Amino acid sequence: MRASTDLRAHAWRAHRQPPCVIMSSMITVTVDLGQRAYPIHIGPALIDRTDLFAPHMRGGTIAIVTNETVAPLYADRLEAALAPLGKSLIRIVLPDGEVHKHWETLNLIFDRLLRERADRKTTLIALGGGVVGDMTGFAAASYMRGVPFIQVPTTLLAQVDSSVGGKTGINHPLGKNMIGAFYQPQAVIADTSVLRSLPERELAAGLAEVIKTGAIADHSFFSWIESNIETLTQYDEAALAIAVRRSCEIKAKVVGEDERESGLRAILNFGHTFGHAIEAGLGYGEWLHGEAVGCGMVMAADLSARLGLLSENARGRLLKVTREAHLPTRAPALGDDRYIDLMRVDKKAEGGEIKFVLLKQIGEAVVSTVPEADLRATLAAAV
């Protein structure tokens, strides 16, 4: 086996599940961060559960941050659930899409909070997908130097990944999510019944993060995904609930061990170094984040195989399940030099050296730098 140039970082597999509480059809997974621990509630019709929101409301005002697509679907329902709490409700509706994940849109949140004289006990609720969650969390981290917030993710990608772990931020023209903060929510309320309203493309984008989680940390989960991928793409609620639960269990364990990505947590970026370059190179919003990650995983698996870390059989399995999830597996032709320039802006890069999350086998990931010749070979084969 030919090793990569730097295997100093971390290889990891999930062997234990974090604390999990089952209440009727709702499952609760805990992100264990000591005094800042918080629950992830997973199940149907949770958006209507006043009791899930009530313990986290300290002040007299609640600001719901959503977007123009999600607001007509779920904002009224959420406000109805919050009404018995007797709080003043503010609704902030943002433009939809990754292309709007920038300072100007973030300021729309601050402008409204300031006009409404929201104070430090105001609770923000992010009602939407990953863009809404990231921006609401960053606004909560920044407004008056920190106010509480709750995640109510309405896309599969947000439920399995972006709503959990406290990464918040916005994009910069030179790099994705390069401006932000680690700031944990009070709770995540993942209503699996809302996933029925997702367009097929958004569902597939979320499945990329599900596949990623199994690929880096749990071979048995990955095998389950392979066996159930058709069911998942057909919006089967029971299968989707399993996918959300296991993905959250794994991410909660990783975040509990490495909240600020000083080591272990970097494995959650499998496919993201390539994926972020695709998003930035094409222009934010041209591909969905999950689409870029799906293609990025295929590229990272190819690179892993070239380095002698991953078997051809395992590489083929990841390629097959990614295709069956209806995700792109061919990269856009940006040019090798352009890809490398964009990846050098990645948050994992150090001293101009690009670090990649690679696979040693299905269920075990490693963080490493790689020889440029192998990287260029992968880029050439990917388009």
- Quick check: is 219 catalytic? no
188, 161 Cβ separation under 8 angstroms: no
Q: Is 320 a catalytic residue?
A: no
- In the residue annotation, 279 being an active-site residue is answered as no
Is there a binding annotation on residue 134?
yes
Q: Catalytic residue among 202, 249, 259, 261, which?
A: 261
Given the residues 41, 167, 245, 360, the one annotated as active site: 167
Pick the catalytic residue from 15, 16, 117, 145.
145
Is 272 noted as a catalytic residue in this protein?
Answer: yes
**Is residue 289 part of an annotated ligand binding site?**
yes
Q: Which of 212, 245, 253, 265 is catalytic?
A: 265
Q: Which of 41, 56, 245, 251 is catalytic?
A: 251
CA distance 302 to 311: 10
* 155 in a labelled binding site: yes
Tokens representing 374 are 């192998």
In whole angstroms, what is the distance from residue 216 CA to residue 223 CA? 12
Residue 167 annotated to the active site: yes
> Would you call 200 a catalytic residue per the annotation?
no
Q: What is the token pair recorded at 115?
A: 């006009």
CA–CA dist 235, 357 (Å, integer): 30
Q: Which amino acid is at 220?
A: S
Does 323 participate in catalysis according to the annotation? Answer: no
Residue 354 has, within 13 A of its CA and on its CB side, a CA count of 23
**In contact, 143 and 119? CB cutoff 8 Å:** no
- How do beta strands 364-368 and 11-12 pair? antiparallel
> 200-217 vs 289-306: helix axis angle to the nearest 10?
30
Residue 101 in marked binding region: yes
Q: Which of 289, 315, 348, 360 is the catalytic position?
A: 289
Catalytic residue among 41, 56, 67, 209: 209
Instruction: Reduce the DSSP state of residue 260 to 3 states and report it.
Output: coil
231 is annotated as contributing to ligand binding: no
246 is catalytic: no
Which entry of 56, 269, 348, 360 is annotated as an active-site residue? 269
Catalytic residue among 56, 245, 272, 347: 272
> Given 41, 212, 246, 276, which residue is catalytic?
276
Q: Is 102 an annotated catalytic residue?
A: no
Is 355 labelled a binding residue?
no
Distance CA 189, CA 203 (A): 18
Q: Is 137 known as a binding-site position?
A: no
Give every CB contact of residue 134 below 8 A, 6+ residues apart in sequence.
101, 162, 167, 168, 169, 170, 177, 180
347 known ligand binder: no
Contacts by 316-320, CB closer than 8 A, 24 or more apart: 317/222, 317/226, 317/362, 318/211, 318/215, 318/359, 318/362, 320/226
The answer to whether 25 and 43 have CB atoms below 8 angstroms apart is yes
- Asked whether 148 and 123 are in contact (CB, 8 A), the reply is yes
Catalytic residue flag (residue 251): yes
273 annotated ligand binder: no
- Establish whether 99 is an annotated binding residue: yes
Q: CA dist 199 to 2, 98, 211, 294, Å? A: 43, 16, 19, 17
Q: Detail the residues annotated as belonging to a binding site for NAD(+).
A: 96-101, 130-134, 154-155, 167, 176
Q: Detail the residues annotated as belonging to a binding site for Zn(2+).
A: 209, 272, 289
> Which residues carry out catalysis?
145, 167, 209, 251, 261, 265, 269, 272, 276, 289
Q: Detail the residues annotated as belonging to a binding site.
A: 96-101, 130-134, 154-155, 167, 176, 209, 272, 289
